[in-house]
Structure 1
Amino acid sequence: MNIPLLNRLAQFGKPSPALTEASTRAQATVDAVCLALPEVLAVAVIAIESGQALASYAALPSLNPAKAALYNAEVVKQKRQAIKALGLNGEKIEDILITLREQLHLLRLSPDEQRLLYLAVSARDTNLAIARDVLKTYCQ
């Protein structure tokens, strides 16, 4: 039976092809980071404009990078505004490091500045230079 209203309603539950493709690429990035940095605590690919996590992984149940995605995207947006307010024309954010007592949180923007790769690692178990290199390698 072909009922136009029902056919249109059925389409609302389907993700757009662009979102599915972006999520697939994001999941591949998350998987690659986990392989390159086995001691990772959390990793996520975040759409900066919406603050939505396109893919994420957490080694600990208490650490949910998808839940913090909006806040990490907001950090980037606020830093962009600060750069503009300081008149630093031509400058771009490469990465942001947030140092906690026991963890390092790194945020790296994609080359098109539309996505953000978020990484959380143990400050004791991970070399910061290696973590930054992994982010740089897989942030696309």
Structure 2
Amino acid sequence: MPASAAVLVIDDDAVVRQFVELVLAQAGYSVSSVATAELGVKALQTARWDLVLLDINMPDMTGLEVLRLLRKYQKVKAAVMMMTARGDVATVREAMSHGADGYLVKPFGPQDLLKRVEAMLNPEKFRSPPPKGDDRQTVELD
């Protein structure tokens, strides 16, 4: 993890925000959080973030609406991982089609959170290597 990795948490649930902040701060991340989508959009306009953890179900604007806004108008370069209790295929598909880079279903534990955050911030470290035994040789036939 880069020492300067900045993570923004946008979630209306105070318990989730506090949990995520605590886990990520203890792991050495720079973490800030906001309770509304509107405050999240403002925070994204005023600072550089490496990763945004974005709840889908919020009262003022859904996380999917925020995601569409960020990708279409704000052109935020940060990776965005959706956090939600909605793990159905349609919601995951919709989030990914609007530019989400990852998806984390609530409830989640500290190890799962850290693993997903690290994978989002260091994707090259988590890419699968080519299959073993794939040392194909080209054979020319006469």
TM-score, normalised with respect to structure 1? 0.28
The alignment's TM-score, normalised by the length of structure 2, stands at 0.28
Higher strand share: 1
